[in-house]
Structure 1
Amino acid sequence: MFRYIVKRLLHTIPTLFLLAVGLFILVRVVPGDPVLAMVGENATPEQIEGLREQLHLNDPIYTQFLTWLGDLARGDFGNSVQLRRPVTDLIMPRVPVTLTLALLATLLTVVLAIPAGVVAAAHKGKAADRVALSASLVGVSVPSFFVGMMLMLVFAVNLRWFPTSGYRPLSEGLWTSLQGFVLPAITLGALYAAIVTRMSRTSMLEVLSQDYVVTAQASGFGRRRILYRHALKNALIPIVTVVGLNLGSLLGGSLVTERVFNLPGLGTLLLSSIERRDYPVIQAIVLLVTLTYVVINLIVDIVYAMLDPRVRYADK
């Protein structure tokens, strides 16, 4: 198992390097000039050129990349071009907001979607199955911003159960802080819950058709025991894949939800940085989300090997 983990870790190194190269190039081919965004239209050519020299934007592209890579190796993301503050100081206060939102949305997905998929598979063709499929179809089809606005209208404006928008820090109380995340988490998790429900149903149906399940049923084992002790464990590998990848997607896909509910997370900062062409901030956020995605994939691979030892033996 240790050898398997080390091998997977080594595979991530070239992946991260290629991602860093691609990110650095893509950010710089985006139309727009951060210097013009800073100085405005009335600046003289001398002022523009002086600021470009000051920010080292006239250096060759490879020099800029090597400087950025060297700073990353020291844990330094550089300074914001627009705000003239360390990027770390801008990002770190926002990480807990986005991470909390993503984890709550994932928890919602796991708690609701997997049991719904199991129940749908156990009652294939019946009312429970049709309800689960219909709900998942709605979750996949309706845009997240529309879901967010409807939830806000019903539960925040009309019923006044939750705040319409904004963020309260944990220092003001656990429930006070979580109240601001309930509607955004439902909004963000609705799509992924629908996907996991369908995947859980499909995976469970495949396992329930296996000979050993039929034999267990013929031997008189209880239906609940067959479903949750035997079938679900063997159906978990594709489900773990979807849940793990969804967590990475939730971190990167929270932009719309954070904007709708006015949450000061990484998505909101990324959007404002793109508007200002603030290269260091954009690079840092995208790299952080990408790194998280790679780490999640690594964890998923390890969970694979724990659920099914054949995975790590086949990898030797």
Structure 2
Amino acid sequence: MATILRMTAGRLLTLVPMVLGITLFVFVLLRFSPTDPAYNALGEGASPEARAAYAAEQGLDDPLAVRYVRFLGDLVRGDLGVTAPPSRPVTDAIGTAFPLTLQLTVLGVVLGVLCALVLGVTAALFRDRWPDQAIRVVSMAGVAMPSFWLGILLIQQFAVKLGWFPTGGYTNPADSVGGWLRSLTLPAIAIAFPVGSLLARVVRTSMVEELDRDYVRTAVGGGLPPVVVIGRNVLRNALITPLTVLGLQIGYLLSGAVVVEAIFGLPGLGTLIMQGVTAGDPALVQGVVLGIALTFLVVNLLVDVLYLFANPRLRGAT
């Protein structure tokens, strides 16, 4: 356990330069925006004198390094600025939209992992036979299929044609759990299937490698049922590599959720960032991008910690 805690602490320390790098990149990138913050804050009717006074008051004429340090200080205090009129704190806007994106991402992870386990394990158990070949074709198609295109197909088939799900919109789970599931099922499938297809190939490869190891033949030859050997040893050991790949795919899930939200009309971070881009609101875009990037880092840290616990070699080192 001491080894795992030490390695976890090391992962936490690596987050510091990564967070600073992300904030610096986003801050500098948004400075190239042609939108004038004074114009956003004061509106179209503001005079040049009023805009100049606003820029001086907000320190917009200060050197870039000074503005970045001030930006970091505001970020530590949870101040990301205000949106374009009608003005409200960016943190409030993100706080309203983030829970929906988180719900969609978590649901997408669950569906993607279930898809990967079912397809990957089945393909490994029937390797080089027709189920394996069929799953290979399905998984390759899933990897090549963009989530936004899959979302459009799902809307056409299951919402418009069959009427099983709504074409868009969001139902709060406090109002109706069933309505909440119906409103998120299609977008969750749209972001989960490409990731699940990729993970299925990784699970299949890891399972095949484990099934060919000597301990499996020894356990089965010793009289243990194959189901017990696969469930207790093979599957657990085979999931170490897919767990690492899943951490890398979290970014795809988040980016897919942002795009799919716009297609399904969900009021999450995707819709929020589209509003910021459309309105020329750099403060809102900057806040949403930072929120997504920091969420990606935190989720990857959690996956790394799970990997440390799941890896038997690390447990043996404690």
Same fold (TM > 0.5) = yes
**Residue 228 of structure 1 aligns to which amino acid in structure 2?**
G
Q: How does 1:107-186 map to 2 (within 5 A)?
A: 107-186=110-189
User: Can you give the 5+ residue segments of structure 2 that lack an aligned partner in the other structure?
Assistant: none
Please report how far the alpha carbon of residue 13 of structure 1 lies from its aligned counterpart in structure 2 after TM superposition. Answer: 1.5
Q: How does 1:1-316 map to 2 (within 5 A)?
A: 1-35=4-38, 45-46=48-49, 48-311=51-314
Matches of 2:249 and 2:115 in 1, distance apart? 15
- Return closer, same or farther for 1:290/1:172 CA change in 2, 3 Å cut-off: same
Please report how far the alpha carbon of residue 113 of structure 1 lies from its aligned counterpart in structure 2 after TM superposition. Answer: 1.4
- Return closer, same or farther for 1:297/1:255 CA change in 2, 3 Å cut-off: closer
Matches of 1:275 and 1:217 in 2, distance apart? 62
User: Can you give the 5+ residue segments of structure 1 that lack an aligned partner in the other structure?
Assistant: none
- Return closer, same or farther for 1:49/1:113 CA change in 2, 3 Å cut-off: same
Cα displacement string for residues 119-149 of structure 1 (whole angstroms, at most 9, x for unaligned residues): 1011101121112111111111222222111
Asked whether the equivalents of residues 204 and 232 of structure 1 are also in contact (C-alpha less than 8 Å), the reply is: yes
Asked whether the equivalents of residues 40 and 281 of structure 2 are also in contact (C-alpha less than 8 Å), the reply is: no
Asked whether the equivalents of residues 102 and 185 of structure 1 are also in contact (C-alpha less than 8 Å), the reply is: yes
Asked whether the equivalents of residues 108 and 189 of structure 1 are also in contact (C-alpha less than 8 Å), the reply is: yes
Please report how far the alpha carbon of residue 54 of structure 1 lies from its aligned counterpart in structure 2 after TM superposition. Answer: 5.0
Please report how far the alpha carbon of residue 74 of structure 1 lies from its aligned counterpart in structure 2 after TM superposition. Answer: 1.5
Asked whether the equivalents of residues 255 and 271 of structure 1 are also in contact (C-alpha less than 8 Å), the reply is: no
Please report how far the alpha carbon of residue 295 of structure 1 lies from its aligned counterpart in structure 2 after TM superposition. Answer: 1.5
Please report how far the alpha carbon of residue 24 of structure 1 lies from its aligned counterpart in structure 2 after TM superposition. Answer: 0.9
Cα displacement string for residues 237-283 of structure 1 (whole angstroms, at most 9, x for unaligned residues): 11111223323432233222011100010011112212333222222
**Residue 8 of structure 1 aligns to which amino acid in structure 2?**
R
Matches of 2:311 and 2:18 in 1, distance apart? 25
**Residue 26 of structure 2 aligns to which amino acid in structure 1?**
L
Give percent identity, aligned residues only.
Answer: 39
Asked whether the equivalents of residues 55 and 81 of structure 1 are also in contact (C-alpha less than 8 Å), the reply is: no
Matches of 2:112 and 2:211 in 1, distance apart? 23
Asked whether the equivalents of residues 34 and 277 of structure 1 are also in contact (C-alpha less than 8 Å), the reply is: no
Please report how far the alpha carbon of residue 174 of structure 1 lies from its aligned counterpart in structure 2 after TM superposition. Answer: 0.8
Mean alpha-carbon deviation: is it higher for 160-169 or for 43-52?
43-52
Matches of 2:306 and 2:34 in 1, distance apart? 42
Matches of 1:32 and 1:195 in 2, distance apart? 40
**Residue 200 of structure 1 aligns to which amino acid in structure 2?**
V
- Return closer, same or farther for 1:113/1:258 CA change in 2, 3 Å cut-off: same
- Return closer, same or farther for 1:113/1:249 CA change in 2, 3 Å cut-off: same
Asked whether the equivalents of residues 148 and 256 of structure 2 are also in contact (C-alpha less than 8 Å), the reply is: no
3-state DSSP class of the match of 1:170?
coil
Aligned length: 315
Matches of 2:36 and 2:225 in 1, distance apart? 67
Cα displacement string for residues 141-185 of structure 1 (whole angstroms, at most 9, x for unaligned residues): 222222111111111111111111111222321111221101111
Asked whether the equivalents of residues 304 and 311 of structure 1 are also in contact (C-alpha less than 8 Å), the reply is: no
- Return closer, same or farther for 1:90/1:69 CA change in 2, 3 Å cut-off: same
3-state DSSP class of the match of 1:227?
helix
- Return closer, same or farther for 1:281/1:242 CA change in 2, 3 Å cut-off: same
Asked whether the equivalents of residues 35 and 282 of structure 2 are also in contact (C-alpha less than 8 Å), the reply is: no
Mean alpha-carbon deviation: is it higher for 5-14 or for 194-203?
5-14
Asked whether the equivalents of residues 120 and 203 of structure 2 are also in contact (C-alpha less than 8 Å), the reply is: yes
- Return closer, same or farther for 1:223/1:175 CA change in 2, 3 Å cut-off: same
TM-score normalised over the length of structure 2:
0.90
